[in-house]
Structure 1
């Protein structure tokens, strides 16, 4: 071969490689790699104590003393304030004097009753000896009855006066205000020397709150409230917390919304322990309700996926196009822990065998979003144990390759979400169907169809834009966020 031919062949090969390299460098790509994903509902909330009480005055008068300050720790039964009680004390003294006078009058009437009863007996004895008249006996009986009625009236008056005196004594006690619960004084709304009027409404003097447990009241839009469920994980951050997360679980969602500027918002409440008192009242919280999450899974940016809307997977109990015949016995014999998880999530089992199939079919699987975190983790562990990190778990999905497999799942279970990814290979860009699990607005979990280390196309590079290598990387990390933005899958 002449040198000229060798030079021409080398030039042609170099031109071919250069054109292929330029074609590949015109794409924006991201690396398929492992990471954590969180599908969250975000909301803004306010912090407030879970348990608090407004301490008010039950009697009118001048507020003479306030014995605590804002921030003071108080115990139940501790004296907090004193109100001038001169009028209440005078009324108690007057009621006691009136009560003593009524009791003295009652004693006098009881003496008169005893005399009237003796006169009545004497008149009856005289009448038996015909020494008096019937009229005199009747007058004596009338005197006895009248005296008894007066005594009953005095007894009722004494009971009424005694009840009034108890009220005045209670008001005298109310002049000293005690703490109804243990906690922290968070606000004082009255001032020493202020005159309080309790006749119209009970005036509030101060508020005591238990700051050891705080309640977050988050306002969730009507578009997202249907995704919440009681008991789901939730965390929040506060301004100035340095990214620290406070973890909790959703306690309840109030059914009555609040409408602000024609925006319908529902209050979602949950409690969080506050042993160090770092959380305070009226703090603003950025709340994240975790709808689904996955840790240590294959991830790619959502920009590299095209979700297939309305794509239906095969039903349970039927093999794939390249798989073998379906059979309940085959499905039951080859069922695996992953299949049992799928059965528990969907409510039934249907075997799908792929015996001797050249390309092995892909059976159905339950809706990934409907599985609990424990069920998802079991499916992922099975997939890793079978050495098929990029593929579906055996048993739950069906066989792959020339071996036999079995699928478990309900015939009515929702199919897995399907998507199409453009994979950059040595031969060029290939479209590949993938299965998507948990996804956020930024990244998605890949259940099958991609392998760790592959590159997916996320966009077309504009003319004149620097290449990835020139930009100082050439390794667009899957799910990487722009500068200044939190990483995907929630704040870290």
Structure 2
């Protein structure tokens, strides 16, 4: 009996089994009907579309800031006051110097008038030999000298008037007004601080119009050629939940930024912000929409085999797939839109067809079935998960 049991156990151990479990069977990919969206993703930062850094054009102590951060201001409203006493004193000195020169000018004009009268009288007397030629020449010299002095005084007055205008302008710069309507979003100087405008323009505060914000997205050079102005785009922000902001591309800046040897191009996107939910400096996850389709045949991206460039057509890129079933075999399918999970089938397969994944693609399809994520093939699979 012991020998019989031992023989049966040895037979079972040595004999291979042909039974296969469900886990050993290849995971088949099924063509389903759903929505798809192909996008280019990028990171972006929010900033006001229109803003201005308000600075000081004159040197002096900042006496008063009339507004606070968050205040709405109108164009022409007084924002800050710099100590005006030095500039007021310069204006007073210029005005006094001008008055002094004007008094000298009036006296010199009187002398010039007297010299002209003497010159005219001597010229008439010279005809009748009533005066000598030397006396006539002396009166002529005196007249020309008086006229030259008058011209010099007038030039000095013009020069001082120009200096006065400049000093009055600087005096006006001690009061800083808003150049546009907006919101005070930043304060860079404090009351009592001395501002030095001789070398650089000291910034006092920043005004911005917050009704329209701009997202400055950085797009890799491999993707930027697929974008164009007026392209549809949407984005999300941290903490925004399910909310998406819809917008269009305004501009693609031609000069790139190179960060750690990575070439990135700035793409500007304007978005309405009248509800003031978007703030300066927020991070945005951008999705530039290259194309989308609704209720079209979809196949998991990892179920596609090798690309067949000989059969590429206007319908899309061509791939070879192995159809499962007794009537199956290798087929060429035309693929249109695609994302990280699915591809649009434009020709070659129908909804319900099952495809055997290529080598290396089975495990990925199994994992997708175990964890489909928040989006299934019938629920806009074109939206990547953040």
- Aligned residue number for residue 312 of structure 1: 311
Q: Secondary structure at the match of 2:91?
A: helix
Partner Cα distance (2:281, 2:220) in 1: 20
- Report how far residue 59 of structure 1 moved: 1.1
Find the counterpart in structure 1 of residue 269 from structure 2: 270
Aligned to 2:349: 450
| Aligned CA distance change for structure 1 residues 454 and 312 (closer, same or farther; 3 Å) | closer
Looking at structure 2, the residues matched to 175 and 451 of structure 1 have their Cα atoms a distance apart, in angstroms, of: 76
The Cα of 1:255 is off from its aligned counterpart by 2.4
Query: 1:222–1:460: structure 2 CA closer, same or farther, 3 Å change rule?
Result: closer
Structure with more strand by fraction: 2
CA deviations 1:124-177 (Å, max 9, x no partner) are 232223221110011001111000000100111111111111111111111110
Which residue of the partner structure matches residue 250 of structure 1?
249
CA distance in 2 between partners of 1:226 and 1:461 (Å): 32
- Residues 270-315 of structure 1 show CA distances to partners (whole Å, capped at 9, x for unaligned) of 22221111111111111112222222211111122214232236xx
Residues 460/264 of structure 1: CA separation in 2 closer, same or farther (3 Å cut): closer
Distance across 2 between alignment mates of 1:34 and 1:25? 28
For the residues of structure 1 that align with 2:23 and 2:234, how far apart are their CA atoms? 42
Instruction: Please say if 1:420 is aligned against 2:356.
Output: no
**Residue pair 2:375, 2:381 contacting (<8 A) in 1 also:** no
Contact 1:28 1:460 in 2 (8 A): no
1:248 offset after TM fit, Å? 2.0
What is the deviation of 1:235?
Answer: 1.6
Q: Aligned residues, how many?
A: 364
What is aligned with 2:3? Answer: none
Within the alignment, does 1:222 sit opposite 2:115 as a pair? no
- 1:440 equivalent in alignment to 2:339: yes
Stretch of structure 1 that moved more, 134-143 or 216-225:
216-225
* Preserved contact between residue 36 and residue 293 of structure 1 (Cα < 8 Å): yes
Q: What SS class does the counterpart of residue 269 from structure 1 fall into?
A: strand
Per-residue deviation, residues 414-448 of structure 1 (Å, max 9, x unmatched): xx4222333344x3754433221111221011112
Q: Secondary structure at the match of 1:223?
A: helix
- Identify unmatched segments of 5+ residues in structure 1: 1-18, 314-364, 369-415
Distance verdict in 2 for CA 1:23–1:244, change over 3 Å: closer
Q: Cα–Cα, structure 1 residues 420 and 21, in superposed 2: closer, same or farther, change >3 Å?
A: farther
Do the aligned partners of 2:29 and 2:300 also contact (CA within 8 Å) in 1? yes
Give the TM-score normalised by the residue count of structure 1. 0.68
C-alpha distance in 2, partners of 1:212/1:237? 18
Alignment of 1:232-247 (within 5 A): 232-247=231-246
Distance between the aligned counterparts of 1:79 and 1:270, measured in 2? 32
Deviations 1:12-55 (A, max 9, x none): xxxxxxx9996898232343222221222111111111111110
Looking at structure 2, the residues matched to 452 and 198 of structure 1 have their Cα atoms a distance apart, in angstroms, of 72
Q: Is the contact made by 2:305 and 2:357 (CA closer than 8 Å) also made in structure 1?
A: no
Q: Return closer, same or farther for 1:62/1:168 CA change in 2, 3 Å cut-off.
A: same
- CA deviations on 1:351-376 (whole Å, 9 max, x unpaired) are xxxxxxxxxxxxxx52x4xxxxxxxx
Deviation at 1:123, TM superposition (A): 1.5
- 1:47-80 Cα offsets, whole Å, 9 max, x none, are 1111111101111111111011111111110110
Cα distance in 2, alignment partners of residues 195 and 106 from structure 1? 41
Q: Which position in structure 2 is the counterpart of 1:165?
A: 164
Hey, what's the Cα distance between the residues in 2 that align with 1:436 and 1:250?
Answer: 27
Q: Report 1:322-333 matches (<5 A).
A: none
Alpha-carbon spacing, 1:24–1:94, altered in 2? closer, same or farther (3 Å): closer
> Contact (CA 8 Å) 1:26, 1:460: kept in 2 or not?
no
| Cα distance per residue 1:75-107 (max 9 Å; x no partner) | 110110001100111111111111111111111
2:49 aligns to what? 50
Matched ranges for 1:28-427 at <5 A: 28-312=27-311, 366=314, 368=315, 416-425=316-325, 427=326
Deviates further, 150-159 or 218-227: 218-227
Instruction: Write out per-residue CA displacement over residues 225-259 of structure 1, whole angstroms, 9 at most, x where no aligned residue.
Output: 23223332222111111132222222232222212
Q: CA RMSD in A?
A: 3.0
Where 2:208 maps in the other structure, the secondary structure is strand
Secondary structure of residue in 2 paired with 1:120: helix
Please give the TM-score of this superposition, normalised by the length of structure 2.
Answer: 0.86
8 Å contact kept, 1:307–1:417: no
Q: Look up the SS of the partner of 2:240 in the other structure.
A: coil
